[in-house]
Structure formats: structure tokens, C-alpha cells
Amino acid sequence: LKFMKADQEESENNYLIVGLGNPGDDYQETRHNIGFMVIDNLVSNMKVNYASIKHQAMLYKVKLEDKTVYLAKPHTFMNRSGQSVKPIIKEFNIPLQNIIVIYDDADLPFETIRLRPGGSSSGQKGMRSIIEKLGTNEIARMRMGIDRPPGKMSTPNFVLKKFSRTQQGVLPFVLDRASEAVMSFIKLGIEKAMNDHNRSE
């Protein structure tokens, strides 16, 4: 892997896509790691220029016409994600409006994607950490529906389990739709991405 150097491009053309999850094989295919899965899907479909482990994250760099896009999977564990994201933003001079954070949401049905330009963390610990470290909640985010826990199962236990076999069969299509929404955000902005992708079908 080549080691990245800070870009000289104008900062308004720098973007950061953050997928949240937990590092390690035990968490690899769990619901809580769907943010990581979206980043992996993007990386597999894009021509990655550089990749490195930096600022406690797996960090990729992609050129899209005049834009430089960084894709990050923080390896800090979910509730300390901000410790990784803040120095990435600082080093690569990324405007806050050019950042989107992708994470799981147990309040949304599986297959549902919801983009928002900002707002509270709604209890999602990774997003909360990022908001606290950056000192603002005006960060775009994409919430990926993972369903509610069945019966009396607690949400923390549920999100650390793998998707059902049926859901695993649909998951590649969900990740493709999420990747399309990210590309729309980069090329057209959050409002257009919301209009085109905030749907459950």
C-alpha cells in the first residue's frame, strides 16, 4: 500500500466518505458494520489511487474528474469514531459540507436508506462521537435500515449479529443503492441525493 500525502488541490474539491463499524473478524458481517460494507462496495467499484492505514482508519483515495475523494473506515471502535475522523478532515482540508457519514439505524426497516444534511446522532454512538469531536451536527449522514430487534432482544445485542440469510441475499443490492446515493452526494450535493434516494423500495 502506498502512503498518502496531503493533497494540493483546492479544498472545495476534497470529499470524505466515512463508513462506521467495528474492526476485527468478529464484527465483519454484523448489522452494526453496514457502514464498512458500503465503503467496501464503493472501493470495489472505483479505481482506488492510494490506500493506507492512517489516523486510526483504513483510508482510500479516489480521483473523480476534478474531485479527490477519501473513503474511511475508522478502526477506533464505533464509540470513538470522532478520534479518527477529525484528524483526517484536518490533514486533507475537507470542508464540512463535503463529508457524509454512513451508519446503521435500527429504527429503519431493512433496505431503507435515509440521507439528511445534519441533525442529532439519535443515540448512534459513532455519529455522536463525530459530532462531539467536530463541535457541530451539520454533517451529512446516510442511515442504513437494519430492522428492529425481534422479541425482547436488546438493540446492542441485535446490531452485533449478522443479517438473516434472506437479508444477506438482498444485501448486495442495498449496498449498490447506497453507493449510488454516495456518488449522487459527491456529484450533485446532499439535497439532490436526498430527493433521489430517500426511499425504501
Q: Catalytic site residues?
A: 32
Amino acid letter, residue 112: T
Angle at CA 178, nearest 5°, toward 50 and 12?
50
DSSP string, 27-45: GTTBGGGHHHHHHHHHHHH
3-state SS, residue 84: helix
Among 71, 86, 70, 82, smallest CA distance to 126 is for 82
